[in-house]
Amino acid sequence: MISIDNRLDYLNVAVFELEGLSHARATPELDAWIDQQCELAIAEKSTAQWEARREAIRRLLRKGGYKPSGRSKPAQEYLARCLDESKFPRVHPAVDCLNAISVRFGVPISMLDRQEFVDRMQIRLGKPAERYVFNSAGQELELENLIVVCGGSSEEKPLGSPVKDSMAGKIDATVCAIVCILYAPSETISQNLLDQWASLLRQSIQRFATLP
């Protein structure tokens, strides 16, 4: 069950779960698919539509009082910069699929360990002084006023966001089930369109990153 704070009536989300995650190496087929998505993303990124979507995502975060700048930019902007520098990250087949869809369509996406959620996922704004570690170096992301996905035994533990996901929620070699969350502003991206992108991501992970 998903619970969304009533104050986030300007937010659309698409959520899905997948089991049977594989941790095998990327295949040549996946490499070719990622390259194709990156080529499409480069073409999309040069359009006014992609730029308008980038601004809409930033407005989405600002509505809650968050400032999406510097290290706090939405995740897909980091990926777009990687494209510009020909350094698109390759991390894990499932994560690579997520990154490709995120940068192609210009929306942030979280991928989290399903076991970190009990019965309900809560999406709300971060509270004062809330933060979490987001990388192996121990760096922390300040969460106040940021849209956060929460789980844990109390359903109050922030695990992911449109900026960076927590180390506590990220997948590793022990994870067999995941949950993905796509974030979008309802004023510019319809629920139907967001669901289509979620379906494409789900299909790609099933194809390239799940056990046969």
Which residues are within 8 A (CB) of 45 and not within 5 positions of it... i.e. 6 or more apart? 80, 83, 103, 106
Confidence of residue 155 (pLDDT cuts 50, 70, 90): confident
In the predicted structure, residue 13 carries a pLDDT above the cut 90: yes
CA 53 – CA 150 distance, rounded (Å)? 25
Q: What is the percent of the chain where pLDDT is above 70?
A: 100
pTM of the full structure: 0.96
Ordered by where they begin, the domains of the chain are 2-208 (3.50.40)
**Does residue 1 register a pLDDT over 90?**
no
Q: What is the mean pLDDT of residues 89-102?
A: 96
> What confidence score (pLDDT) does residue 70 get?
86
For residues 187 and 167, give the distance between their C-alpha atoms in angstroms, rounded to a whole number.
31
User: Is pLDDT at 149 greater than 90 in this prediction?
Assistant: yes
DSSP per-residue letters across 42-88:
HHHHTSHHHHHHHHHHHHHHHHTT----GGGS-HHHHHHHHHHTT--
Q: Would you state the pLDDT for residue 18?
A: 97
Q: What is the DSSP letter of 28?
A: H
The two three-digit tokens of residue 173, written as one number: 């070699």
What is the token pair recorded at 96?
A: 């690579």
The pLDDT score that the predictor gives to residue 153 is: 82
